[in-house]
Chains A and B, each alone.
Chain A
Amino acid sequence: MNVPFRQDPALLRGMTQRRLGRRDAFRLAGLSAAGLALAACGVQGKGTAKPSTSAQAQSEVEKFWSGKAKNGHVDFANWPYYMDPKQPELKQFTQQTGITVNYKEVILEMPSWFAKIQPQLAAGQSIGYDLMVVTNGLHFDQLVQLGFLAPLDHSKLPNFAANAAEQYKNESFDPGNVYSIPWASGMTGIAYNPKYVDTPPTSIAELWNPKYKGKVGMMSDSQEIANFGLFAVGVDPDTSTEADWEKAAAKLKEQRDGGIVRKYYDQAYMDPLAKGDIWLTMAWSGDVFQKNISDGTDLKFVVPQEGGTIWTDNMTIPKTAANPVDAIMLMDFFYDVNIAARLAEYINYVTPVPAAKDVIVADAAKASGDDKKLLEEVASSPLVFPTPEDTARLRSYVKFKTPQEQKKFESIFQAITTS
């Protein structure tokens, strides 16, 4: 097999820590100009009603897909470090189908990507990509509300139907996979440095423990921190109301004003955690796994008993795509068990294809030495294949019915993080 791990650890880390520092890099590089440029163009809204009945949805699908044919090419926009740079999967796809793939790692973070594509989509123009990977959350919801995503024709997704795990078929952000199927998922839980934290934290309350005063890291992202605030006050984010948000915010404020929080981090919490600037922190699962593999650290990750957050990066087709048929074929291709396994071996995030585990175990049996150890680690890692107990405690981000609601939400939680 194509052994993914025989690499410079720093390189591997760079390639696989997909979230770490990316938003920082983007922001700090001053590319926020993109956002300004969008603003300068003036912003036109274009909200559309979501199809409410399944018959309506079906007719939307037919309307979109009728007359669309395979063109032999697909332009794929993804995040950096989300595929082996040698792109073995895409080569295989081209071999099997004759469809060439132009793969670009152009999505650096959702706000900027949304800002970039929004004007073109609003004008009904192609964004130059037929397939893009979008994280669930505010921007995903906005893409749906604005009618920018093509409804998926599930008759073209047989692998997905056969191999995707059940929970991915009814995600709260896109029930029934009308617009999206997952690329990979990750979890937000608590990471801690066992050098400083003697008793492994199991409860989210540990993030409020005065013992760790000034040594706790929290995330600055409103949706992330809101979920943890809600878990801490015992509310399920899925069913939370504005009153719950206020309650969660009060709890988070108490944590901040008690001097317990060291800092609200964008992404760059792993280095401070490894160095001991912070002892425990909200963290994404893949980051912890990668930091340990690449730097030989012994950081731990737990999903707190009250709950953790699951987020999913999803493959979607923009409505203005030039090659939607080729794009949906590629989407389904990644649900081939072998392909999903290769991908998971490389990127180390949660794969939506549970059967991939057996393939990785088989690969491990064939491999030797360090590769074997690493593949076994991937196969047994609860971060790549979470246990059913973990999964049961995972929740999505808070969803909003109206933009006003979202604005309220942001103002409640940003008052905590931008103090």
Chain B
Amino acid sequence: MSRLRASLTPYLLLFPGGLWLAIFFVIPTVVMLSLSLQSGDVVNGYVFTFNWHSYVDGITTYHDQIVRSVVYGTISTVIQIVIGFPVAYWIAFKGGNRKSIYLFLLLLPFLVSFVLRTISWQFFLSDNGMLLGPLKSLGLVPEDFHILATSAAVIGGLAYNFLPFMILPIYVALERIDPRVLEAAQDLYASKTQIFLRIVLPLSLPGVFAGVLMTFVPATSDYVNASVLGGTGNTMIGNVIQNQFLINQDYPTASALSFTLMALLLVGIFVYAKALGTEDVLEVAAR
């Protein structure tokens, strides 16, 4: 009896999580897959017909937006690494006993709703707003210069909104580095650059890897930044999917586009994991 219970325990422990995944992930995914292959309209109903046209039409019509989303997502992720790594490094190694305060300050703005934060950027960056108003009156930028409604604004918004998800994993990775390892390197006459490149950087790569996963995926599928900060020609695939679902009620096309995006992101992540996967990272670290 007790042996039976012991052998059941892992399954019982998995049950809540498994149920959660089944209800909120597996079933919706299957339904969405089914929807993406249906045809019809709201008035007459949708029927399952293996209608691959939704994929073909969706991709041919919206390939610009798909490519743009990946490009925006990539650029914003790179910006986040460039900004986030030094911040994480500084907190981890120079933060002293105020580390938790700095981390709290870092997270503080992010207690405010995502949407509100983005809208406040809209105010801040407006053509005659807090930033550009004074610059224009000083004559430092031309009168018709604007930041909003450009791709720079959208990418900037993406980089800003997901930044903590980049910083925190890098911070955790750096924080875990045993100081004795660094001391040993010093004792062996490694220069500061060498210590960084040979020890700190490789050991931080799992953090960077996690950070990229946590920021690139949501940034690529985001629709808030494009709709609040963007203008014409900045539409991302997330906005298109939202329109197809809610405005056009074209569920097949919306589902097909969602699946396309999902597949694209999965392939991207797979390739990325191959190139800079955790195992390799560990190998590098072990060298």
Could you say which residues of chain A place their CB within 8 Å of the CB of B250? Answer: 407, 410
Choose from B45, B245, B247, B248 the contact partner of A46 (Cβ within 8 Å).
Answer: B45
Contact: A42 with B232, CB < 8 Å?
no
Residues facing A in B46-102 (CB within 8 A) are 46, 61, 64-65
* A10 contacts B by Cβ under 8 Å: no
Could you say which residues of chain A place their CB within 8 Å of the CB of B42? Answer: 43, 45, 118, 142, 403
Assembly CA distance A403 to B46 (angstroms)? 12
Contact: A36 with B43, CB < 8 Å?
no
Contact: B232 with A263, CB < 8 Å?
yes
Interface size on A, residues (CB 8 A): 45
For the complex of A and B, the 9 pairs showing the least CB-CB separation, nearest first, are A45-B45, A403-B41, A45-B44, A28-B115, A263-B231, A111-B246, A39-B251, A418-B235, A40-B31
Choose from B129, B243, B254 the contact partner of A418 (Cβ within 8 Å).
Answer: B243
Residue of A nearest to B235 (CB): A418
Residue of A nearest to B255 (CB): A39
Question: How far, in Å, is B267 (CB) from chain A's closest CB?
Answer: 24
Could you say which residues of chain B place their CB within 8 Å of the CB of A294? Answer: none
Choose from A24, A40, A142, A277 the contact partner of B127 (Cβ within 8 Å).
Answer: A277
Cross-chain pairs A/B with CB under 8 angstroms, 9 sampled: A29-B115, A35-B245, A36-B28, A42-B46, A43-B45, A43-B251, A46-B43, A115-B246, A414-B243
Assembly CA distance A184 to B248 (angstroms)? 25
Most buried by A among B128, B129, B228, B247: B247
The segment from B13-21, B144-152, B181-189, B192-200 found at the interface with A is B144-152
Known: A24-B227, A32-B242, A45-B46. 20 other contacts (CB 8 A): A27-B246, A28-B228, A35-B245, A36-B28, A39-B32, A40-B32, A42-B31, A42-B46, A45-B42, A256-B232, A263-B232, A276-B128, A277-B146, A407-B248, A410-B247, A410-B248, A410-B250, A418-B65, A418-B239, A419-B233
Chain B residues within 8 Å of A, Cβ to Cβ: 27-28, 31-32, 35, 40-46, 61, 64-65, 115, 126-129, 144, 146, 148-149, 224, 227-228, 230-233, 235, 239-240, 242-243, 245-251, 254-255
Could you say which residues of chain A place their CB within 8 Å of the CB of B246? Answer: 27, 32, 35, 111-112, 115
Could you say which residues of chain A place their CB within 8 Å of the CB of B27? Answer: 40
Contact: B251 with A28, CB < 8 Å?
no
Question: How far, in Å, is A183 (CB) from chain B's closest CB?
Answer: 22
* A264 contacts B by Cβ under 8 Å: yes
Assembly CA distance A247 to B15 (angstroms)? 59
Question: How far, in Å, is B71 (CB) from chain A's closest CB?
Answer: 15
Contact: A142 with B43, CB < 8 Å?
yes
* A272 contacts B by Cβ under 8 Å: yes
Residues facing B in A16-63 (CB within 8 A) are 24-25, 27-29, 32, 35-36, 39-40, 42-47
Could you say which residues of chain A place their CB within 8 Å of the CB of B149? Answer: 214, 262-263
Contact: A36 with B248, CB < 8 Å?
no
Could you say which residues of chain B place their CB within 8 Å of the CB of A43? Answer: 40, 42, 45-46, 251
* A159 contacts B by Cβ under 8 Å: no
Residue of B nearest to A266 (CB): B227
Could you say which residues of chain B place their CB within 8 Å of the CB of A46? Answer: 43, 45
* A100 contacts B by Cβ under 8 Å: no
Q: Given A262-B231, A277-B126, does the pair A44, B45 have CB atoms closer than 8 Å?
A: yes
Assembly CA distance A40 to B44 (angstroms)? 17
Assembly CA distance A208 to B48 (angstroms)? 45
Residue of B nearest to A276 (CB): B128
Contact: B240 with A418, CB < 8 Å?
yes
Assembly CA distance A52 to B43 (angstroms)? 19
Choose from A24, A27, A28, A419 the contact partner of B235 (Cβ within 8 Å).
Answer: A419
Binary contact track A59-81/B, C-beta < 8 Å → 1, others 0: 00000000000000000000000
Could you say which residues of chain B place their CB within 8 Å of the CB of A404? Answer: 41
Contact: B35 with A39, CB < 8 Å?
yes
Assembly CA distance A261 to B230 (angstroms)? 12
